[in-house]
Structure 1
Amino acid sequence: MIIIIGAGLSGLVTAYRLKQAKIPFLILEAKDRTGGRIFTKTTDNQTPIEMGATWFGKQHQNLIGLLNELKVTAFPQYQGDYYYYDDPDSPHHGKYKLPPQEVNYRIEGGSKNLINKLFEKLEKDDIRFSSRVEEIRKEKKELIIKTENNNEFVSEQIILAVPPKIWAHQITFIPSLPQDLLQIAKNTQTWMEDSIKAAVEFEKPFWRENSQPATIMSNSEPFTECYDHTNQKEDKFALCGFLNPGLKNIEAPKRKDLVLKQLANILGEQALHGTSYHEYIWSEDDYVKWPKDSFMHPHQNNGHPIFRQCFLNNQLIIASSESAATFPGYMDGAVEAGERAFDVVNQNFERLKGH
């Protein structure tokens, strides 16, 4: 039995491949949902709002290959002709023509559509939710996994499909993992860990109708990045992006007011009449940001080669997006890491069958 810790994109990719290869496995997921940092909220109006991973480009061939295999479609991110640099104290404050740039894409129905497609390939008993792993103990040729609710599982191999900093701080390993690995893992930035995603839903895309900029950039205002979040069918509308991380220290209603005020200053009074407001503070998620008081540079130690080694006599495999050799931290990196973890397990499985 193979144990996969984490039901984010990398863990589900590994599980999908194991299912195809008829190799027994079980996923242990600390939360009550799949997806990890892919988190699409659906509003009362059935508008998909991305609170997590959103965009990809043509260079992300691992992800594109998986989307094509699963027949999950994507569509170009609407940019418009202009962007707005929002900094009242800067001489560059104002509206500018967007320079030529590579097209980004979004997944039809939201990023969760990819997660759902992978999950549909599994059986109900392939995953245990609300199963936070506290301890991994090696006994002879087996690994014993203990969860916070005192359940124990026995495995021949374990795949760590959660961010390195999380497992380094939250899981006890007996015997201990090498100190250089633990030191690097504890100092590996978890992509999105300090981010706040926010979105305002609207009945109509008035910014398009008024030829206003849908892309907003700022170093000082609430939305540091904001984009058109219209769906592929162009019948659900929102503006969505990243907030200044420092805003996590104020109350939610005040944060919303500041966001609406910023949009109204740029787009006019219509921006005050959204149908709903949504946000997610990733630094408040214990399975993304831990410890709470740590700060690391974006992508610090992401893609470090030590994460592509196996440990505990080749029975422990690291497979979060941060472990990927290319595009670590992103969806493409998660797919690469999941595929690599499967290859390691499958090679071992084929070797054992040959004896």
Structure 2
Amino acid sequence: MPRIRRGIMRPQMNRRSLLGAGVALGAGAATTAVATPARAQAVDGADAIVDTVVVGAGLAGLAAARKLVAAGKKVLVLEARDRVGGRVHDIGLANGGTIERGGQFTGPTQTRLQALADELGVKTFTGYNTGESIYYTADGTAIRYTGALPPMDNDSYQALGQAIYQLDTLASTVPVDTPWAAPKAEELDGQTFASWIEGNVTNANAKTILHLMSNGALSAESRDISLLWILYYIAVSGNETNPGNLTRLISTLGGARDSRFVGGPYQIATKMAAALGSKVVLKTPVRRIVQSGGSALVVADNLVVSASSVVVALPPTLAGRIVYSPALPATRDQLTQRFPLSSIGKAIAVYDKPFWRDAGLNGQVAALTGTTRSTFDNSPPDGSYGALLAFLDGDQMRAVEDKSDATVKQLILDDLTRYFGSKAATPTEFVLGRWDAEEYTRGGAPGFTPPGVLTRFGTAIRKTSGVIHWAGAETATFWNGHMEGAVRSGEQAAADILKG
């Protein structure tokens, strides 16, 4: 069996010397086990050339690889982490259950993700919405309510409704594939969502809810996001036959957070990876991509692979950390420097039972104070144990950056106790995901663009760079930043390669 070349490519190496060493690749392995660097030598075949290397084994990368393999292409997927799934990751609990540490929701018009889940035998169920939600005001007043919005006076409802209508109307003018070409794109991209709110909405309650929507939909502060970006984000919250709208984007029942996957969405990633078998190699971060003569050398810590095409299925900010030779076009490189992921954390407190349901609560909180200001009932479909999901978004996540996990846990439990009573203080298990602190993540879905980025650099988001194709949830033209978008982007990158 040929020896795997280790280490990054040195300048004096050339294509002949690299390929002469030989690389063991999964051209047609029958095994369903995902390979690690130590096992890569056992992968079938000794050919150092594949048709496509996919960088990243999240939903986008796995969807791309799956489509290419189905078309008869030789593919290798290289993943930096010790697992597949990217920003989708479920973990087992001591009570035998499974909890979603990463992405988890799906809803109407997210057709590709749901079709893939159906094909793989992963079922969905509607999230728990029975009972009342709680709205915590800035002075700590708890208001219980039913429906999509907290109680307000009629003037506030009318002002909020008018603002939502204006946003939906503007969003309807934004092309889902070329938002920079929207009418008045320069004007829209020249301001933040916050500045639009302050300049167009006079009602204080309506303003507050709109700022909260920014945190809920994008896990980012309204002052950081381009107005054009949030209009685009609204526009893509649909599909080919159902235009996006803000209500669908922010809603639970009937919206983006309508449903979850029985046993968690991580199964979608692991089942795709299992079918690909040793074509997926873990713990193999890609450091360099060298293009020459219509092909590329992909240089990772443990492998050097030659391919006719490459799919980089990473968020733009992470894709920008790979070294490219020749250098990428300036617009693409500048885009990766200006396209951050959201600052986001996710905690799940587990209990013997969903006790808040006995009090007539559905587990959903929207708050104006606290470390966690957004919660959901994250219990399994049979309610056999209770789980409360608590998000840390934007400023709240950054505020705990230097605090220990134990301190963050206590802050969250203090908030949950304030929201749901003393029983929330003593969970049987507690899971904390600090996505912006993970080496190969550095933030959560979705990414977003500040003012001026889409109109100056947006054209580079999906434009191929030589033989390199770009995928990932942030490149999707529907449900950008969601699991649906990730699947769509991977399938689209594969389709583009197959078209030649």
Within the candidate set 288, 311, 316, 1:159 is matched to 311
Q: TM-score, normalised by structure 2?
A: 0.64
- Cα contact 1:305–1:323 (8 A) shared by 2: no
Q: 1:136, 1:266 → 2: CA distance? A: 50
> Which residue number in structure 2 is paired with residue 224 of structure 1?
373
Partner of residue 354 from structure 2, selected from 198, 202, 205: 205
Structure 2 Cα separation of the partners of residues 117 and 127 of structure 1: 12
Q: Which residue of structure 2 lines up, in the alignment, with residue 186 of structure 1?
A: 337
Deviation string 1:296-344 (CA, Å, 9 cap, x unpaired) is 659x7599443222111xx110011111111111111101101101101
Give the gaps of 5 or more residues in structure 1: 349-355
CA RMSD of aligned residues (A): 2.3
Structure that is richer in helix per residue: 2
Counterpart residue number, 1:263:
416
Which residue of structure 2 aligns with residue 106 of structure 1? 260
State the shift of 1:184 in Å: 1.3
CA distance in 1, matches of 2:71, 2:134: 50
1:156 is paired with a residue of what secondary structure? strand
The equivalent position to 1:58 in structure 2, one of 108, 118, 123, is 108
Paired position in structure 2 for 1:96: 145
Letter in 2 for 1:68: D
- In the TM superposition, residue 233 of structure 1 has moved relative to its aligned partner by 2.9
2:282 matches 1:129 = yes
Deviation at 1:18, TM superposition (A): 1.8
The residue that corresponds to 2:211 in the other structure is none
Indicate conservation of the 8 Å contact 2:128/2:362, yes or no: no
Partners of 1:3 and 1:30 lie apart in 2 by: 14
> Could you say which residue in structure 2 is the equivalent of 1:250?
403
AA paired with 1:231? P
Distance between the aligned counterparts of 1:301 and 1:93, measured in 2? 40
Question: Is the partner of 1:122 in helix, strand or coil?
Answer: helix
Aligned counterpart in structure 2 of residue 309 of structure 1, from 450, 463, 466: 463
Deviates more, 1:270-279 or 1:246-255: 246-255
Distance 1:19 1:116 in 2: 16
Following the alignment from structure 1 to structure 2, what is the Cα–Cα distance between the partners of residues 72 and 46? 18
Measure the CA separation in 2 of the matches of 1:249 and 1:43. Answer: 27
1:286 aligns with 2:442: no
Instruction: Measure how far apart 1:33 and its partner are.
Output: 0.2
CA deviation after TM superposition for structure 1 residue 166, in Å: 0.6
For the 8 Å contact 2:111–2:484, the answer to whether it is kept is yes
Match of 1:171 in 2: 322
The alpha-carbon deviation at position 260 of structure 1 amounts to 1.5
Contact 2:131–2:357 (CA under 8 A) maintained in structure 1: no
Map 1:25-44; keep pairs closer than 5 Å.
Answer: 25-44=75-94
What is the rounded CA distance, in whole Å, between the counterparts of 1:304 and 1:11 in structure 2?
21
**Inter-CA distance 80–301: structure 2 relative to 1 (3 Å threshold):** farther
Structure 1 segments (4+ residues) deviating >6 Å: none
CA contact (8 A) 1:5 1:158 kept: yes
Residues in 2 aligned to 1:250 and 1:296: alpha-carbon distance in whole angstroms: 28
Q: Which has the larger radius of gyration?
A: 2
Residues matched between the structures, number? 336
Amino acid at match of 1:164: P
C-alpha separation in 1, matches of 2:378 and 2:390: 9
Q: Does the 8 Å CA contact 1:217/1:223 hold for their aligned counterparts? A: no
Aligned to 1:351: none
User: Which residue, out of 50, 57, 62, partners 1:12?
Assistant: 62
Contact 2:335 2:461 in 1 (8 A): no
Which stretches in structure 2 are left out of the alignment for 5+ residues? 1-49, 150-250
Letter in 2 for 1:94: I
1:105 shift after superposition: 0.7
- Hey, what does 2:429 align to over in structure 1? 276
Structure 2 counterpart of 1:107, one-letter code: F
Conserved 8 A contact 1:85-1:217: yes
Aligned-residue offset at 1:226:
0.6
In structure 1, what is the Cα distance between the partners aligned to 2:139 and 2:402? 23
Partner of 1:24: 74
Are the aligned partners of 1:86 and 1:221 in contact in 2 as well (CA < 8 Å)?
Answer: no
Code of the residue aligned with 1:105 in structure 2: it is S
1:171 CA displacement = 0.7
Q: Which moved more, 1:246-255 or 1:29-38?
A: 246-255
Write the deviation string for residues 156-213 of structure 1: whole angstroms up to 9, x where unpaired. Answer: 1000001111111x111110110011111221133xx410100100011111122234
Residue in structure 2 matching 1:239, options 368, 378, 388:
388
Amino acid at match of 2:479: F
2:483 pairs, out of 331, 336, 341, with 331
Equivalents in 1 of 2:312, 2:288: separation in Å? Answer: 12
Cα–Cα, structure 1 residues 257 and 297, in superposed 2: closer, same or farther, change >3 Å? farther
Contact 2:125–2:381 under 8 Å retained in 1: yes
Out of 96, 107, 130, which is 1:80 matched to? 130
